[in-house]
Amino acid sequence: MKCVICKSGEAAQAPVQTEIKACYDHLMVTVQAEACAECGEAYYSAETMRHLERLREEFTRKKIVPPSVGKVYQIS
């Protein structure tokens, strides 16, 4: 599949790390997607979008509590 963002790269199946945000919490998720070899733009299937949406919902409601891999800091 030709990338519609940079119009030069070719998107191919690859594991892509994406991020779900819930307030100050960020959930890193690795999913299979079509990723552009040139610009890195990722194209998710409808099924993957649903999967991410479900994860966001469960994560927001604390139905799933994945292990923490880092912290978010802020200076105000």
According to the binding rule CB under 5 A, does residue 38 interact with Zn ion?
Answer: yes
Give the chain's length. 76
According to the binding rule CB under 5 A, does residue 36 interact with Zn ion?
Answer: yes
Q: Which stretch binds Zn ion (CB under 5 A): 19-27, 34-42, 48-56, 64-72?
A: 34-42
According to the binding rule CB under 5 A, does residue 5 interact with Zn ion?
Answer: yes
CB of 44 to Zn ion, least distance (A): 15
Cα distance between the two ends of the chain: 44
- Would you say 2 or 26 has its CB closer to Zn ion? 2
Phi/psi of residue 53, nearest 5 degrees: -65, -40
Spatial contact of 17 and 1, defined as CB atoms under 8 Å apart: no
